[in-house]
Structures are given as structure tokens and as C-alpha cells.
């Protein structure tokens, strides 16, 4: 799995006080969610929105088809830790976005919300539970 990711982001200021990192579901991309999430800026001034795209990789449950995926999915019936190949790499990608928001945009971690849809939602929970500081 590639350690790089593309992302769609926009901000209304160079030093926003809050941020949303939103992670898409299997086979989707961050750019499809960014326009809708930009609407939050009407109610939250100086909000940074980050919608990264997962690396493209083969997904076992989809007959090995290559698609944007935060980790492999082997089965939906018998889940084993080995079935989530790539999850640690994806957590590192999200942590990189959090660290960049803190260092480059001065967003406090407690003002960074990490969420998502489907596979992205699961990744957001895994990331938040493992992050050493409190997130929003």
C-alpha cells in the first residue's frame, strides 16, 4: 500500500481554529465529500476541511479489484486482525494530517474532528482511540 494520499482541502484562513478530517468509504475519494463539507464553514468561521483519498490497492472481498481503500477487507463474516492489512499505514496517513494541522495551521488537537463514512468511519475511530492527545 502506498504511504501517500491525495486530499481535497480548503480553508478560510491561514491559521484556522478548528478542523475536520473526513475519511471516505471503500472505492470513493476525498474529493467527492469536500464540497458538501465546505458548507460547515458558513457556521464555523476559519474551519479547515481535509478530505484525503485512500491509497489504491487490491481489496480481497471485491475479487482483488484495485480501488481506493483504507485497508484490505477479506471477509465480512469472520473478522481476524490479519484481515485488516494496511490499517496501520492508513492510521499513519490520518495522523500525518493531524500533525500537519497542528504544526502548520496551529489548530489545537482538541479542535480537530476526525470522522468518516463506512470504512472511513471505522478508520476515524481507530485513529482517535490510538492518538496520544485528545481530539474533538
What's this model's pTM, rounded to 2 decimal places? Answer: 0.86
- Side-chain-side CA neighbours of residue 77 (13 Å): 1
- pLDDT, tens only, 25-76: 999 999 999 999 999 999 888 999 999 999 999 999 999 999 999 999 999 8
Neighbour tally for 105: CB within 10 Å: 18
CA angle 80, 84, 86 (to 5 degrees): 155
Percent of the chain with pLDDT over 70: 88
Burial 67-84 (b: 16+ CB within 10 A, else e): ebbbbbbbeeeeeeeebb
- pLDDT, tens only, 66-112: 999 999 999 988 888 776 889 999 999 999 999 999 999 999 999 99
**Residue 130 above 90 pLDDT?**
yes
**Spatial contact of 19 and 50, defined as CB atoms under 8 Å apart:** yes
Hey, what's the cell of 38? Answer: 465546505
> CA–CA separation, 76 vs 17, rounded Å?
39
Cα–Cα distance list, 122 to 17, 84, 114, 128 (Å) = 25, 11, 11, 10
Amino acid at each position: 500500500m502506498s504511504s501517500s494520499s491525495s486530499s481535497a482541502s480548503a480553508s478560510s484562513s491561514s491559521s484556522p481554529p478548528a478542523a475536520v478530517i473526513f475519511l471516505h468509504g471503500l472505492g470513493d475519494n476525498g474529493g467527492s465529500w469536500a464540497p458538501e463539507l465546505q458548507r460547515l464553514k458558513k457556521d464555523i468561521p476559519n474551519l479547515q476541511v481535509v478530505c484525503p483519498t485512500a491509497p489504491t490497492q487490491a481489496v480481497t472481498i471485491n475479487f482483488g479489484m484495485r480501488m481506493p481503500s483504507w485497508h484490505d477487507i477479506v471477509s465480512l463474516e469472520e473478522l481476524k486482525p490479519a484481515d485488516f492489512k494496511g490499517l496501520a499505514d492508513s492510521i499513519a496517513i490520518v495522523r500525518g494530517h493531524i500533525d500537519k494541522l497542528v504544526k502548520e495551521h496551529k489548530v489545537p488537537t482538541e479542535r480537530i474532528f476526525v470522522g468518516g463514512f463506512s470504512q472511513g468511519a471505522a478508520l476515524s475511530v481507530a485513529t482517535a482511540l490510538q492518538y496520544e492527545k485528545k481530539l474533538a
